[in-house]
Chains A and B, each alone.
Chain A
């Protein structure tokens, strides 16, 4: 009985033509309430959460351009100019955190491809290629990717200290006229 009555109710839904101004206004009001209430809830949860991020990026320390893009403590930010200088001076080992296919298409000459998920299996191999205390510069596609930071964190965990993240990454390198190598070999 209840089943048939609820079916009937469903079939008697209003057709689109009956959506008058009041129902449109009500829908808009409801939408505004959903947006404001859920945004407020999100802000409160973020403030209480250990994973929370600052609401206003630049209100903190002056060195933090955008704490959403905050780097782990001990990791330096490297811009395209700094990356080019390190490349020409051969003062740092470049690590490419992008997927292997993108690395094979083009990468910074000498850079080793280490997607973060392959860190464990590549670790011993990497240690062989790194001089003790050598500086590392990690990069991925661009500022929107997090793989370079994830990889930098892995190196921090195993005790490496001189690590820089080239945040603007591969696209900035190309735009700055940096040298390019192709294939799977560094």
Chain B
């Protein structure tokens, strides 16, 4: 009974819209400065000491675009389930990278938010925050909905 009510609340369109706007908003906000400063972002990626140095630049160049594209699709409601899946995957990647860095005792900047120069250290708390954001993505994947009527229009091509 309670589980049913919980599912109804979780699946409510307002909850879905909030999840989409929060998740997409965060990723758009964080991706834009990375897009404009790929060198600095690549340096932050390098600081995690996970990727081979040859791969660092490619990650620095492509990751912000993937974040921005998935977040933008999420806002306008195009393939929301796929967009949420991409963002959940990225968050999983960040958690994994952060876990490895912290487990090795690295004292590095997380590279999450701009400006990069600010003293925003990678901490366990940030990994918990990313895990919470994954829950937002899961909500969207379970109850996908379009913010703009793109999907509805596609479903009803002969409405007139």
Given the interface pairs A144-B108, A146-B40, the reply to whether A42 lies near B47 with Cβ below 8 Å is no
- Please tell me if B152 contacts chain A, counting CB pairs below 8 Å: yes
Select one of B45, B81, B86, B107 contacting A23, CB under 8 A. B81
Residues of A near B116 (CB, < 8 A) are: 146
- Please tell me if B117 contacts chain A, counting CB pairs below 8 Å: yes
A6-B81 Cα distance, complex, nearest whole Å: 19
A143 contacts B61, CB within 8 Å? no
Q: Which residue of B lies closest to A68 (CB)?
A: B42
What mask results when residues 39 to 52 of chain A are scored 1 for a CB within 8 Å of chain B, else 0?
10111011000011
B109 contacts A38, CB within 8 Å? no
A7-B64 Cα distance, complex, nearest whole Å: 34
Interface positions of A from 9 to 55, Cβ below 8 Å from B? 9-11, 13-16, 19, 23, 26-31, 33-35, 37-39, 41-43, 45-46, 51-55
What mask results when residues 1 to 34 of chain B are scored 1 for a CB within 8 Å of chain A, else 0?
0000001000101001000000000000000000
B145 contacts A10, CB within 8 Å? yes
A36-B72 Cα distance, complex, nearest whole Å: 15
Select one of B85, B89, B143 contacting A13, CB under 8 A. B143
The SS class assigned to the B binding surface is helix
Interface positions of A from 118 to 175, Cβ below 8 Å from B? 141-147, 150, 171
- Please tell me if A110 contacts chain B, counting CB pairs below 8 Å: no
Given the interface pairs A19-B142, A69-B46, the reply to whether A38 lies near B70 with Cβ below 8 Å is yes
- Please tell me if B128 contacts chain A, counting CB pairs below 8 Å: no
B62 contacts A42, CB within 8 Å? yes
B32 vs chain A, min Cβ distance (A)? 13
B18 vs chain A, min Cβ distance (A)? 13
Interface positions of B from 48 to 98, Cβ below 8 Å from A? 48, 53-54, 56-58, 60-62, 64-66, 68-70, 73, 79, 81-83, 85-86, 89
Given the interface pairs A10-B145, A27-B141, the reply to whether A15 lies near B86 with Cβ below 8 Å is no
